[in-house]
A and B are shown apart, each in its own frame.
Chain A
């Protein structure tokens, strides 16, 4: 009989103990964020620099080296690059990324020599058809970027290259003395 009443007593006290914590949250600062319409700044601007959102390619600084295509484990990147016989320039005929297949692993942006392929902070990619998930970056065939020996001078390319190299420094290359294994051992 004593056990019966002590059980009731323990139940009631432990419930009140838990309830006091629950009620204390009435006076604490709320944690809930009313996404997406009642936030002070767009959520994309609050994401950390390393955030791996939807992939984007700056064709201006793409060298057509196909390193990203080889690195992709699910082959969602398809690149067609050919040497033009007359001008001897590398021409990019196709640069497709299937966003529906992409798993945002970031393996493609690590070997990129110029930071052309990079993750953005965009993540809202819902769409009505699968075809629209296939991002075609090459509308008409363009010449691939050819790195110049000295510092880049073309004013149209400099901002892209600056962004790309900053991206490489902060994202693709880890801090510290050693670089990730860029060299092909084969």
Chain B
């Protein structure tokens, strides 16, 4: 086994008595993106195993849904994935609408997509920013967070909160776009798009940075499908699948956008760099979507008439949406009462955690940080 010119096997044969050590990384660790623990068995710098230990952020959100009812659960969906809360809002609203067969006003669908795509940009900015910070480049993180602040300001004007939005309601959205939102949003997108190239020049094509990402934790397309990876992680392995395009929902079929897929531009297909670049490209695609939406948003109401005591008929529904972390599934069983009988949330981070044990075998300990950052894990989304 050879890694970076460092041959572990030779040292053993020369008579060194080595033994594997078990390290504990986390739960409180700045690079694990939340409360996530890894039990690492390492031979020197080289890991033989890294087992993720999840559950430190379990808040039984699915059970809470059974206690607070359909309307009251909306603020809790923000907490499922606080980095990208808008898609979670949309997932819950959509599953309730599917249960009760509610038609959402056109303007509300546009508001939802605009909010979701802004949130996707801010989530990906966190992902690519922390990627640099985990590897040791702090400056790009501040650049990414600076741009995210502007998106947070826009979303704050839209819904009054910067992180836990609680913007969507069953049957539409809570508030219409503020009067000058379209101009501000377009002005921001115009200013932001050239900054992506600046960001790429700053860090993405930096040789040292690339060396840390290329050919690390290679996942083939088949492996990604077997391990149920979703979203940018799946597309980084070259599998061309996006829920927004392939299982269309909301107004996405009417919008023009590409689905960026990794193609091994620097090293092997499916390495950390491919997953990273897919996110950078998705930011650009989201800018395209927002521009189209803000230009063609129709007039009208933003909320369908929904009774305050929302009682969907007996039955179950499952919706799939493309969250910032990929295919997110919302399943809800209704028994005809005011409270859902069962809610299940299927998230992308949880499935991405399962492959870490397999891909981290034989990597350096420092590369585990890269792997975790490249999957864009968000710990509350793993545990819910």
Give 18 CB contacts A-B under 8 Å: A17-B201, A18-B206, A31-B149, A48-B156, A50-B175, A50-B178, A51-B156, A73-B68, A104-B164, A105-B75, A105-B164, A107-B72, A107-B166, A178-B301, A181-B307, A181-B308, A184-B308, A184-B309
Report, as a range, how many residues of chain B touch the other chain. Answer: 35 or more
Residues of A within 8 A of B299 (CB): 176
Taken residue by residue from 5 to 40, chain A's Cβ proximity to chain B (1 for < 8 Å, 0 otherwise) reads as 001001100110110011000000001000000000
Q: What 1/0 flags go to A89-108 for Cβ under 8 Å of B?
A: 00000000000000111110
Instruction: Note all chain B residues with C-beta closer than 8 A to A10.
Output: 207
B300 touches A177 (CB 8 A): yes
A183 at the interface (CB under 8 A from B): yes
* Residue B11 at the chain A interface, CB threshold 8 Å: no
Q: A185 CB to closest chain B CB, in angstroms?
A: 3
Q: Does B12 contact A (CB under 8 A)?
A: no
- Taking the closest CB of chain B, its distance from the CB of A97, in whole angstroms, is 16
Q: Tell me the nearest residue of chain A to B304, going by C-beta.
A: A178
- Look across to chain B and name the residue whose beta carbon is closest to the beta carbon of A70: B308
Residues of A within 8 A of B308 (CB): 71, 111, 181-185
Given A48-B160, A71-B72, A181-B308, verify A175-B302 contact (CB < 8 Å): yes
Instruction: Kindly state whether residue A174 has any CB partner on chain B within 8 Å.
Output: yes
Residues on A with C-beta less than 8 A from B306 are 180-181
Contact B301 A177 (CB under 8 A): yes
Chain B: minimal CB distance from A14 (Å): 5
Q: A48-B178, A50-B159, A111-B308 are in contact. Are A73 and B76 (CB under 8 A)?
A: yes
- Answer whether residue A52 sits at the interface, using C-beta atoms and an 8 A cutoff: yes
Q: Determine whether B174 belongs to the interface, using a CB cutoff of 8 Å to chain A.
A: yes
Q: Is the CB of A14 within 8 A of B139?
A: no
Cα A17 to Cα B210 in complex, Å, equals: 14
Extra 15 A-B pairs, beta carbons < 8 Å, given A21-B202, A71-B308: A10-B207, A11-B207, A14-B206, A48-B156, A48-B157, A50-B175, A73-B76, A105-B75, A105-B166, A175-B176, A176-B301, A178-B105, A180-B174, A181-B306, A183-B307
Name the one of A47, A73, A177, A184 contacting B72, with C-beta atoms under 8 angstroms.
A73
Q: Is B127 located at the chain interface by the 8 A CB criterion?
A: no
Contact B160 A52 (CB under 8 A): yes
- A174 engages B74 (CB within 8 Å): no
A15 in contact with B303 given A111-B308, A181-B308 (CB within 8 Å): no
Chain A contacts for B301, CB-based, 8 A: 174, 176-178
- Which residues in chain B, 158-181, are within 8 Å of chain A measured between CB atoms? 158-161, 164, 166, 169, 171-176, 178
| B207/A174 in contact, CB under 8 A | no
Residues of A within 8 A of B156 (CB): 47-48, 50-51
Question: CB of A167 within 8 A of chain B?
Answer: no
Q: Which of A7, A50, A171: most chain B CB closer than 10 A?
A: A50
State whether B300 touches A176 (Cβ < 8 A): yes
Partner pick for A171 among B161, B175, B311, CB 8 A cutoff: B175
Q: Is the CB of A178 within 8 A of B303?
A: yes
Assembly CA distance A182 to B305 (angstroms):
9
> Which residues of B lie under 8 Å from residue A48 when comparing CB positions?
156-157, 160, 178
Which 6 interchain pairs have the tightest Cβ spacing? A185-B307, A73-B72, A105-B75, A176-B301, A50-B160, A175-B176
Q: From residue B48, how far is it (CB to closest CB) to chain A in Å? A: 30
The answer to whether B146 has its CB under 8 Å from any CB of chain A is yes
Q: Is the CB of A184 within 8 A of B307?
A: yes
Determine if B41 is an interface residue (Cβ-Cβ < 8 Å): no
- A-side contacts of B161, CB under 8 Å: 51-52, 104
Residues of A within 8 A of B157 (CB): 48, 50
Identity of the chain A residue whose Cβ is nearest the Cβ of B107 in the assembled complex = A176
Chain B residue at smallest Cβ distance from A186: B309
B71 at the interface (CB under 8 A from A): yes
Interface residue? B193 (CB, 8 A) = no
Per-residue contact bits, chain B 84-120, to A (CB 8 Å; 1 contact, 0 not): 0000000000000000000001010000000000000
B205 within 8 A of A: yes
Write out the residue numbers on chain A whose beta carbons fall within 8 Å of the beta carbon of B206: 14-15, 17-18
Q: Are A174 and B71 in contact (CB under 8 A)?
A: no
Beyond A31-B146, A174-B303, A183-B307, whether A73 also contacts B175 by CB under 8 A is no
- Whether B160 pairs with A174 at a CB distance below 8 angstroms is no
* Contact call B304/A176, Cβ cutoff below 8 A: no
Give bound CA distance, A171 to B160, whole Å: 9
Chain B residues, Cβ within 8 Å of A185? 307-309, 311
Q: Could you give, for residues 145-169 of chain A, a 1 whenever the CB lies within 8 Å of some chain B CB and a 0 otherwise?
A: 0000000000000000000000000
B73 contacts A by Cβ under 8 Å: yes
Q: Is the CB of B305 within 8 A of A178?
A: yes
Cα–Cα distance between A183 and B307 once the two chains are bound (Å): 6
Complex contact A18–B160 (CB within 8 A): no
Contacts of A103 in B (CB 8 A): 75, 164
A107 touches B71 (CB 8 A): yes
